[in-house]
Amino acid sequence: MTTREQFITRFVLIAILSVLAARGTAATTDDDFFNKRINQIVKLEATPLTAAVLKEVFAPKFYSITVELPDLSTTAVFARIGDDIFPLVQPTTNQDMPDLPKYFKSSFQLDSDNDAKSLQQALMVLYLCAKDNPSVMTIRHTGNDWTFIYDRFFENYSGFIFTTDDKGTIIAAKYSLQIAK
């Protein structure tokens, strides 16, 4: 994740927490005054992501949360698990994604082409990088590794790589910019 994306993600989280904390409080100090009026400066909109394929593949509910300031707007995807929310990291470089497997439904098994197509569609809903280049989108399967290619990156491809156990349960996820042609 780039420094700018880290800043935006942190900003979004702080803005969300500030707005939530400011609701219903009395303005008794300068900090309270600011916190009480933060929603006059920061506009926050949460929109549920309702694609049926998400319910097929993932356990949490997902939301697109937009934060608007007078001169800046950003959107991030969050997973709701119980009473907690977690940002969904948008990959930008080669990186392991250790939190992603915990979001899959326990009943979801990646062990057929149909399962792979469902996962491919779900990733397209949640991840910006999964929408880059439909002309190169493909799925590769070798043993317990499933590769979901979404774009070209110089002489290679980029996309998600999932490793499953022998039953098809996803046990590891990563994003790569170095998938060989």
Write the pLDDT tens digit of every residue in 144-177: 999 999 988 898 999 999 999 999 999 999 999 9
Q: What is the SS3 assignment for 3?
A: helix
Is the pLDDT reported for residue 25 higher than 70? no
**Residue showing tokens 């969300």:** 16
How confident is the model over 97-148, as pLDDT tens digits?
Answer: 999 999 999 999 999 999 999 999 999 999 877 776 777 889 999 999 999 9
Contact 4, 76 (CB under 8 A): no
Give Rg (Cα) of the chain.
19
Cα separation of 129 and 177, whole Å?
A: 11
H or E element, residue 52: helix 52-57
Cα separation of 12 and 164, whole Å?
A: 33
* Residue 88 φ then ψ, to 5°: -90, 115
State which amino acid sits at residue 82: G
pTM: 0.78
Exposure of 134 in the CB half-sphere (CA atoms within 13 A): 2
Cα separation of 50 and 151, whole Å?
A: 25
Is the pLDDT reported for residue 24 higher than 60? no
Cα separation of 101 and 108, whole Å?
A: 11
Domain ranges of the chain: 1-88, 94-181
Structure tokens at 161: 């790589």
Q: What is the SS3 assignment for 158?
A: strand
Contact 128, 90 (CB under 8 A): yes
